[in-house]
Structure 1
């Protein structure tokens, strides 16, 4: 009996450490939460982590940014730009970083400076590839156009995150 109690005590810290790690790192070893994008033109969101759960939404927008908030096996609990949440198979998402333009038509500039030349404007809901993000600005690329936009006008990148 003493040996069994000693063995249980030795295992307790390991389990506690694993729980602390899982709070910030998913089973994949990648950080939680993190931004990803849809890697296909059609992706099913389900009410639970498995094909036995009903489909709650079908996304038909390759590249749409999603936020992974939890992992379970091959399933990722994701949140979309509008706050919708559900489970997706990891094979439907990509590590490519994209951003979603929020709220209003936004101006993109030639440099990371509001005084620089405007190069194009993006409507709310436009999805673009993130080239880089530093400090308050992100550089986006879509359909051969590139420009800088204030980070606060995007969904798909964290406030202090640096991307290059």
Structure 2
């Protein structure tokens, strides 16, 4: 820990504490939204969302799929891990996809968005740690 996981459902309740007795502070409607796990208590996970929100989620509402969310402005998904690679798609801020692989300390990661495979610069998305290897 910390580590990344993602939402398993289109409706996730983020709670103020680790239990159903705590109030809901946020409701998220984004399947596969990446979240950073920063704490654990029994079956509850303390998470940080891409927008900086924090709260507690039951472990059953998370899965190990390594997803990402595009940050900043529009970015280009490329056929090769170079700035001159052929464009595969243009990804706007907020687009969610799946990380297929990232080499340790590599600036580009292989990703998939809506069935399209390509390469995206690590600085263009949220969902991995700097220099992290993902297989």
**TM more than 0.5:** yes
Q: TM-score range by the shorter chain?
A: over 0.9
Matching residue of 2:31: 62
Which structure shows the bigger proportion of residues in strand conformation?
A: 2
Matched ranges for 1:24-39 at <5 A? 32-39=1-8
Q: Distance in 1 between matches of 2:29 and 2:69?
A: 15
- For 1:1-164, what aligned pairs fall within 5 Å after superposition? 32-134=1-103, 135-164=106-135
Unmatched tracts of structure 1, length 5 or more: 1-31
Shift of residue 72 of structure 1?
0.5
CA deviation string 1:51-96 (max 9, x = no partner): 0000011111110000000000111000000100000000000110
- Give the secondary structure class of the aligned counterpart of 1:152: helix
Matches of 1:62 and 1:97, distance apart in 2? 12
Over aligned residue pairs, what C-alpha RMSD do you find? 0.7
TM-score in terms of structure 2 length: 0.96
Whole-angstrom CA distance in 1 between matches of 2:59 and 2:134: 22
Which of 1 and 2 has higher RCO (CA within 8 Å, sep 6+)?
A: 2
Matched position secondary structure for 1:125: coil
Large movers: runs of 4+ above 4 Å: none
Gaps of 5+ in 2: none
